[in-house]
Amino acid sequence: MVPRPAPQTSAPDGAGRRAVLLGAAAWCTGAAGCAKSTGTPTAAGVRTQAGAAHATAPAPAATLPAAVAWRPGPGEIEPAVKLAAVRLVEALGTWPAGRGGPRNATARAAALGISAPLAARFAAQAGPLTPAADQAVVRVIDAQYGGLLPDTASVLVPCAQSTRTGSTVREGGTTIDVRLERTAAGWAVTALHPGRPGRPAAAPGAPARAVLAQPRIELPPGSAADIRSGAVHESVLRAMLRLADTYRFSVSVVRSGHPVDVFGTGRPSDHPLGRAFDVWAVDGRPVVDPATPRSLITAFMRAAAAAGSYNVGGPVRLSGGTRPNQFFSDLTHHDHVHIGFAA
């Protein structure tokens, strides 16, 4: 997001008037059911007319990966706000066989201690997180600040999701902008804003194809869909490719699933315009982790500026640069590197 001086106050999301506290409660109704394999039937022996014995077995039942709860690592400023956001995403996006649909999604949210009206609202807002499927397992890739102010926050949750319908397993995922506010009891979710990347372009350009094929650029499903849509500027794509010459990096968000405006302001963010991307890990080392060498992060930030970014933010405020205020740092960017472009 484009840096601006942090405002003293901010208006919470419209749905946030009736927030409810989310704790670290169990996130799947019947948690054991979320992670169980459906198993493979035992083969039965049958005889042919010639009397020869053959072992036959039905095709193995389709299985999904086990559900694994995301947990914050060291170095987090507000781990509670991320846990509140993630637990709701995990609850809505994971269900055992036969427990899909809006009513069951509402029940899973309510199992976190959310009131029935709010649980129903969140289930309705979940959108691509609750596709029509017999069974689903969501895996949170990262939880990143989209904005962090004293009493309100945005947590961006890129996730992968495996779904099963009949015997068909599909891989997908999305990025959710989870809005929260601080209450007397702790952080509480007020609204969900799932990313909607749009349809894939008929003919993605060469830079988009190169980024999608580059194994050193790790893209969550939502960001990969952004690039396939053709709505990401070439300046972003070419910078990704240039950085991949030196680094392996993990992207958290590109365009969809990010606040439209810089959080707490009315100023447009570069992300929804397709002119920015955020990175949560470099060479496998999370930006937020205090054990990650600061020299690695600062070198990556300077490389991003050299790749054409006018606006590089991260956990360290760097000096220098080829443009005024090219580098910045604040609490929101404590856990990732923001790389923005003017066009």
Chain centroid, CA 90 distance in Å: 11
pLDDT digits (tens), the chain, 343 positions: 434 333 333 333 333 333 333 333 333 333 333 333 333 333 333 333 333 344 444 445 678 999 999 999 999 999 999 999 999 999 999 999 999 999 999 999 999 999 999 999 999 999 999 999 999 999 999 999 999 999 999 999 999 999 999 999 999 999 999 999 999 999 999 999 999 999 999 999 999 999 999 999 999 999 999 999 999 999 999 999 999 999 999 999 999 999 988 888 888 899 999 999 999 999 999 999 999 999 999 999 999 999 999 999 999 999 987 888 899 999 999 999 999 999 7
Count H helices, E strands: the chain? 8, 15
Residue 189 · residue 173 · CB < 8 Å: no
What whole-number distance in Å separates Cα of residue 146 and Cα of residue 161?
Answer: 21
Tell me which residue has tokens 């959108």.
127
What whole-number distance in Å separates Cα of residue 247 and Cα of residue 234?
Answer: 19
pLDDT of residue 43: 33
Sequential DSSP letters for 111-147 = TTT--HHHHHHHHHH-GGGS-S-SEEEEEE---EEEE
Which residue stretches of the chain are H helix?
31-35, 79-93, 102-110, 116-125, 206-213, 221-229, 234-244, 294-306
Indicate the pTM of the whole model.
0.82
Q: How many CB atoms lie within 10 A of CB 128?
A: 21
Q: How many CB atoms lie within 10 A of CB 113?
A: 12
Chain centroid, CA 193 distance in Å: 12
What whole-number distance in Å separates Cα of residue 23 and Cα of residue 318?
Answer: 36
Helix (H, G, I), strand (E, B) or coil at 15: helix
Residues forming a β-bridge with 137: 162
Amino acid letter for position 107: A
pLDDT of residue 44: 32
| Beta strands in 224-292, from DSSP E residues, in sequence order | 249-253, 276-282, 285-286
Structure tokens at 41: 């039937």
pLDDT of residue 268: 87
What whole-number distance in Å separates Cα of residue 254 and Cα of residue 35?
Answer: 30
Amino acid letter for position 198: G
Q: Which residues of 207-216 are buried (b: 16+ CB within 10 A; e: fewer)?
A: bbebbeeeee
CB-based contacts of 196, cutoff 8 Å, min separation 6: 127, 128, 256
Which of 6, 173, 187, 169 shows the shortest CA–CA distance to 79? 187
